[in-house]
Copies of this chain bind each other. A is one copy, B any other.
Amino acid sequence: MADLIQPRTLKGFRDYPPELMLPREHLLEQARRVYRSYGFAPIDTPALEYAEILLGKGGAESDKQHYRFTDHGGRDVALRFDLTVPFARFAAEHIGKLGTPFKRYHMGLVWRGENTQRGRYREFMQCDFDTIGVTGNAADIEVVLVINDLLVALGLERFAIHINNRLVLNGLLEELGLAGHSKRILIALDKLSKIGPEAVAAEMTAGDVQANQAGRLLALAQTQGSNTEILARLRQEFGGNATAAEGIRCLEELLAVAIEAGVPNERLHLDLAIARGLDYYTGTIYETFLTDLPGIGSICSGGRYDNLAGLYTKQQLPGVGASLGLDRLLAALEELKLLEARSTPAPVLLVQFSADHLGAYQKMARALRAEGIGVEVYPEAKKVGQQLQYAEKRGFRAALIAGPDEFAKGTWKIKILDTREERAVPTDELVDVLQKILQ
């Protein structure tokens, strides 16, 4: 025998065994169902693209974040780093045929060669949804409805969607005569919850911002009170600035429509401190926090942008969307004990008491599957005790057993694995009884 190759994965990469994959599939399935129910359609793009597309023409050779190499055809290629850049390229290429408005979701792996400390992986999944080709506030409002429905579908009730609008911040910067310095200021402001107001003020005043300007910005960002109170203060202080007034109007409409549509008021938080450092956002911005786990950070973030695909096309493509933090959300669901600890997707194990009855076992298993009950038939006629041990280890909920006695009587034995309770059930009642047990 040749030397064995040591089985191992690359640093920063990991396998997903069933106990990790079942929750990931559950989450993706719920996201897919909610996105689709709003008319977002799925797309996919290649994992591998021209490096020029993914990094831009100035893409630095030394950029360690990108997995970049030369393919067999001599092409300079890279693995995608996020789903936003491929979507921009996709939109530039196809929007003429697709038409607008265009609503898409995209769930896919991305790769980043970054530092693997603190539980970050070099391969992870993103899960984005966007509406492009529209400027109206209706699409911005819908983002809040989608986030709400998605988290509720995952069993979460206690969360807050924090909302702000760049126009409000821009209006304030105009009023302060700082309109040209917004990028730097917003990057500093975005750190408020992490580093505190003094450090943010220090970072601002280290640039071109004066202490009184920083003070006014921070006072605004830290405004406390109900949404109504915050809106009233904004209108009073900055309503005279046209830019701010438009931002205020959008926020007001967003809150009114979301509440009328049924989103509980307490889940909607105007939060003038969220700035989302990205230069890219131009209107509404969103972050989402779990009330019971604020420390994990935002689990769904996004915003409105004026121009998605300016690197690839002259056609202006405005839009709005958000990205679900899949790994954070999985970690949160685990911590909140909202995930089932099973490594089987089928709830019922049908014990193979004797290989002679395999036809009868598979016939019953198919009948149960046709009623929507997942059934695994144990693949070997081992001792019943061993098969039941397997069922417990994997997390099956019930085992079905039929040997010569049961076949003679026309019954099946059901063993409920949590309680070890056993009962004999006539064959023609088995579907009903199992459905009740599994409910």
Contact = CB atoms under 8 A, between A and B. Distances in A.
A199 interface: no
A261 B366 contact: yes
A338 interface: no
Nearest to A101: B379
A44 B71 contact: no
Given A5-B57, A10-B75, 11 more contacts: A1-B314, A5-B53, A7-B312, A8-B93, A17-B43, A25-B32, A99-B390, A103-B376, A138-B355, A139-B379, A253-B358
A39 B111 contact: no
A313 interface: yes
Interface centre among A32, A37, A64, A379 (most CB of B within 10 A): A379
Nearest to A374: B37
A311 B374 CA distance: 34
Contacts of A43: 15-18, 21
Interface in A124-149: 131, 134-136, 138-139, 141-142, 145, 149
Contacts of A376: 38-39, 103
A261 B359 CA distance: 6
A10 B49 contact: yes
Nearest to A139: B379
A38 B89 contact: no
A216 interface: no
Contact of A312 (B6, B139, B362): B6
List the 10 closest pairs (A to B, CB-CB), nearest first: A39-B376, A260-B359, A69-B69, A18-B41, A261-B362, A36-B345, A13-B46, A39-B346, A16-B44, A21-B42
Given A42-B18, A379-B134, A313 B7 contact: yes
14 contacts: A7-B89, A13-B48, A15-B43, A18-B41, A18-B42, A21-B43, A39-B345, A39-B349, A39-B375, A98-B343, A101-B390, A136-B380, A138-B352, A145-B366
A90 interface: yes
A343 B7 contact: no
Interface of A: 1-11, 13-18, 21-22, 24-25, 32, 35-50, 52-53, 56-57, 64, 67, 69-73, 75, 77, 79, 89-90, 92-94, 98-99, 101, 103-104, 109, 111, 113, 123, 131, 134-136, 138-139, 141-142, 145, 149, 253, 256-262, 309-314, 343-346, 349, 352, 355, 358-360, 362-363, 365-366, 369, 373-381, 390, 393
Contacts of A5: 52-53, 56-57, 311-312
B377 A142 contact: yes
A22 B10 CA distance: 33
Given A7-B312, A257-B358, A362-B260, A25 B42 contact: yes
Given A41-B344, A42-B25, A262-B363, A48 B67 contact: yes
B67 A9 contact: no
Nearest to A97: B17
A60 to B, nearest CB: 13
Nearest to A67: B71
A22 B134 CA distance: 23
B71 A113 contact: yes
